[in-house]
């Protein structure tokens, strides 16, 4: 955790270099966090006297990290108001830090899938546009019994997805070849991240976006449920 880039755990078995790696997006893929994201953003907007949004609207605001979320939540006429943006963001970050786990929960079947990956020797990692410290905290909190080869969140100086930097760092840490790796996510950002990284992609339909978006962004596979994702990983 002290390399300034990632939070990682030592690989148990050197033979894992020959095994498959599955990289997961976090929000909308492993955890259903949309209600807490929406609530915290609406709280910040309300504190600033701004109009609120529905949860469905927030599904299209999230995915590119905090700054785009806040920018999209602002009224169009205020999106270039840096002072207002900074104020809303500050309130949001404070609120979300205290309430990020109020309603958030893993999607049904996800913990069992991750456990199966551990048992079968398939390495797993998280690459998210969520802030790096929050990403690590969320993974530890919701999946305390699961071994992750790496967790990678957004931090200053590191390009966010769909830039391949995060995925490439996980590949470096684990020693896995891109052709033996799969990236799993729920948005166009994730499908583009996979393409940019040279790894296969699988879109999931239980998250925040549509099949059409995933298909338009060239998902190699699409899973409608965790059972289908399990079959894709272990086929």
CB 150 within 8 A of CB 181: no
| Active-site residue, from 25, 32, 36, 186 | 25
User: Which residues are CB-contacts of 167 (< 8 A; sequence separation ≥ 6)?
Assistant: 23, 127, 183, 193, 194, 196, 197, 199
Two tokens at 186? 């729920």
**25 labelled catalytic:** yes
Residue with tokens 């104020």: 87
Q: Where are the alpha helices (DSSP H) in 143-234?
A: 165-174, 188-197, 211-216, 226-234
Burial string for 118-127 (b: 16+ CB within 10 Å, else e) reads beeebbbbbb
Give the SS3 label for residue 216.
Answer: helix
Catalytic residues: 25
């Amino acid at each position: 955790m002290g390399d300034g880039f990632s939070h990682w755990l030592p690989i148990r078995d050197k033979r894992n270099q020959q095994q498959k790696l599955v990289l997961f997006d976090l929000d909308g893929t492993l955890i259903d966090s949309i209600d807490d994201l929406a609530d915290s953003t609406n709280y910040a907007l309300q504190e600033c006297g701004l109009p609120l949004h529905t949860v469905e609207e927030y599904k299209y605001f999230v995915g590119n990290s905090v700054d785009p979320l806040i920018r999209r939540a602002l009224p169009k006429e205020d999106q270039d108001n840096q002072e207002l943006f900074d104020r809303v963001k500050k309130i949001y970050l404070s609120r979300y830090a205290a309430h990020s786990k109020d309603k958030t929960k893993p999607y049904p079947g996800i913990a069992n899938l991750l456990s199966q990956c551990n048992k079968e020797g398939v390495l797993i990692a998280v690459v998210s546009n969520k802030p790096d410290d929050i990403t690590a905290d969320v993974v530890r909190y919701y999946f305390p019994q699961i071994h992750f080869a790496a967790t990678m969140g957004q931090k200053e100086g590191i390009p966010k997805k769909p830039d391949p930097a995060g995925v490439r760092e996980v590949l470096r840490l684990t020693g896995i070849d891109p052709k033996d790796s799969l990236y799993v996510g729920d948005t166009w950002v994730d499908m583009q991240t996979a393409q940019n990284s040279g790894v296969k992609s699988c879109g999931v339909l239980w998250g925040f976006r549509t099949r059409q978006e995933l298909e338009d962004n060239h998902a190699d596979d699409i899973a409608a449920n965790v059972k289908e994702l399990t079959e894709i990983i272990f086929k």
